Amino acid sequence: MRTIKLLDSPTTIRIEQMKKIIGQIIALTKNIYLNSPDGTQNGMEQFFVGKRDPFQFSGGIGISWWYTKFTYKTVENLSFLINSDLKEFSGCDHETIQSVIRDTLHEICVDRNIFNGDLVCFCGKDTIFECRSETDANKFGGYILDAVLENIRKSISLRCVIYSAPRITGKSFTIDSEKIHVIHKSDSEKWSELVELGYYFREWDPVTGNFIDGHNSAFSGKDYDYVFATETEGTNQGNKFTASLKFRKLFSVISALIEYKYRFKVMARPYSMCMQIPHEKSQDKSFTQNEIGELYPYYGSDLEINDEHISRIRQWYREEQELTDEQRNRIEKCAHFINKGMNSSDIESYIHYFVALDALYGKIGSVSKSIEQGVSCLPDSSHWNKKISWLFDLRNELVHGGSRYIEEWPKYMRYYRHFSAEPARDIEKLALHALASAPSLFHESNK
């Protein structure tokens, strides 16, 4: 009989959490049927049992299982538990985890240590739980969990996800805490450093965007100076998601720390493709290109990052690292929604910027008061104290459908005449100011 590797795994997890995961596995096997539970073909899945070679067709025993809504819901629950409770799998996406759970059951349903293969293949019982060879249900669930986690591990790889953006340039720099590398495409020394870390950058030319063999990539023909790279570990989808969060935060921080100047967007579509560069230690050596989303707007003017800006950006990240988890969580959410605001327009943009302020300062039950209190602590707060109640009134007007666009706000002209400013630009400026000041203000409040 196999031992459960999970029990002596370096992954630390409370006994209650492990019991919860195993309990969900047991529940899942009780809801996978060998015959249709309602006499229809609904929820039927056909497959060949045992381990399969993905690179060649091989015969085998084909069987059918039936799933119910509860079956699918239990697979989802398992995915969320594995992703949230086991740190080792925090970089995995739910779609991959759920697929691995189902595929693993297909593989091991004829493993004599876990199941009675004859009962499974010839529909000797109603559910696969009743076909188990291990009478102890908890051990049975543990064996399955062990197999599932081993297969998820096989889908995890080290990657360097890269993204480019137009109209932003400057010197190369690194943010160690986030494993982010902002590299000028012509900086051969910095590219060599990533090669030395084990990533296959020798096969791609950052200057042209082409692969070394001449084939095009998602970066070919694009107008860019900077390449934004971040090291990740997880499934392909998980790596892309992690990278998008890091890049959105970075672009918000850059915009917040460089002296504010409203930048018009042009009609050209922002870049939305990324590429995952494999690591020498990863089993999967393929270069993956796919949509990561529009992370940085296509502005009408260039933004150049100089040495002073780089120093300021690094200092901001260092100060953020020293904060409490709750404070860092607020800052990360604030930065995320600022980026959403940067990449949208009109009502959507305005609301995203206000959500960013809510993420940073908001308290349940007193959103307006807590935001006003937070704004009052900002440098130059007297300037913003006069505006925040007006801006919040516009937020309510838009959220509750009182106005279809910002200029339809009944107080729009009064605001414009009184402050000689556009509310849409003011809320962007305020959100960026709040993000720039957040680490230092949180440090002050912790004293």
Q: What are the percentages of helix, strand and coil residues in the chain, rounded to 5?
A: 50, 15, 35
Ramachandran region, residue 75 (left: φ > 0; alpha: ψ -120 to 50; beta: rest): alpha
Q: Tokens in use for 199?
A: 């990533």
pLDDT of 18: 87
What confidence tens digit (pLDDT) does each residue in 312-352 have? 999 999 999 999 999 999 999 999 999 999 999 999 999 99
Which are the contacts of 142, defined by CB distance < 8 A and separation ≥ 6? 4, 6, 7, 22
Question: In the chain, pLDDT over 90 holds for what percent of residues?
Answer: 86
A 10 A CB-CB count for 386 gives 11
Identify the weakest region by mean pLDDT among 3-7, 303-307, 390-394, 434-438: 3-7
Q: Which residues pair with 299 in a beta bridge?
A: 265
What confidence tens digit (pLDDT) does each residue in 378-423 have? 998 898 999 999 999 999 999 999 999 999 999 999 999 999 999 9
What confidence tens digit (pLDDT) does each residue in 119-168 have? 999 999 999 999 999 999 999 999 999 999 999 999 999 999 999 999 99
pLDDT of 10: 44
**CA atoms of 199 and 155, how far apart (whole Å):** 18
Question: In the chain, pLDDT over 70 holds for what percent of residues?
Answer: 95
Please determine, for residue 257, whether its predicted confidence score (pLDDT) is greater than 70.
yes
pLDDT of 58: 56
Q: Is the dihedral of CA 65, 69, 75, 79 positive or negative?
A: positive
Please determine, for residue 182, whether its predicted confidence score (pLDDT) is greater than 80.
yes
Q: Which residues pair with 288 in a beta bridge?
A: 276
By C-alpha distance, which of 73, 66, 71 is closest to 42? 66
DSSP string, 46-70: EEE-S---TTS-----EEEEEE-HH
Please determine, for residue 246, whether its predicted confidence score (pLDDT) is greater than 90.
yes
| CA distances (Å), origin 428, targets 147, 253, 316, 342, 437 | 49, 13, 19, 8, 14
pLDDT of 6: 44
Q: Tokens in use for 415?
A: 């605001």
What confidence tens digit (pLDDT) does each residue in 6-30 have? 444 444 456 788 899 999 999 999 9
**CA atoms of 373 and 398, how far apart (whole Å):** 22
pLDDT of 15: 79
| CA distances (Å), origin 363, targets 243, 338, 344 | 29, 19, 26
Q: Can you tell me whether residue 132 is helix, strand or coil? A: strand
Q: Is the dihedral of CA 375, 377, 380, 381 positive or negative?
A: positive
The mean pLDDT value of the chain amounts to 93
Q: Are 177 and 317 in contact (CB under 8 A)?
A: yes
By C-alpha distance, which of 139, 150, 178, 33 is closest to 82? 150
205-211: long-range pairs with CB below 8 Å, 24+: 209/164, 211/287
Q: Token pair 């085998």 is at which residue?
A: 60
52 falls in which pLDDT band (50, 70, 90)? low
pLDDT of 2: 44
DSSP string, 154-186: HT-EEEEEEEE-SSEEE--EEEGGGTEEEEETT
51 falls in which pLDDT band (50, 70, 90)? confident
53 falls in which pLDDT band (50, 70, 90)? low
Q: What is this structure's pTM?
A: 0.89
pLDDT of 284: 86
What confidence tens digit (pLDDT) does each residue in 187-241 have? 999 999 999 999 999 999 999 999 999 999 999 999 999 999 999 999 999 999 9
End-to-end alpha carbon distance in the chain: 57
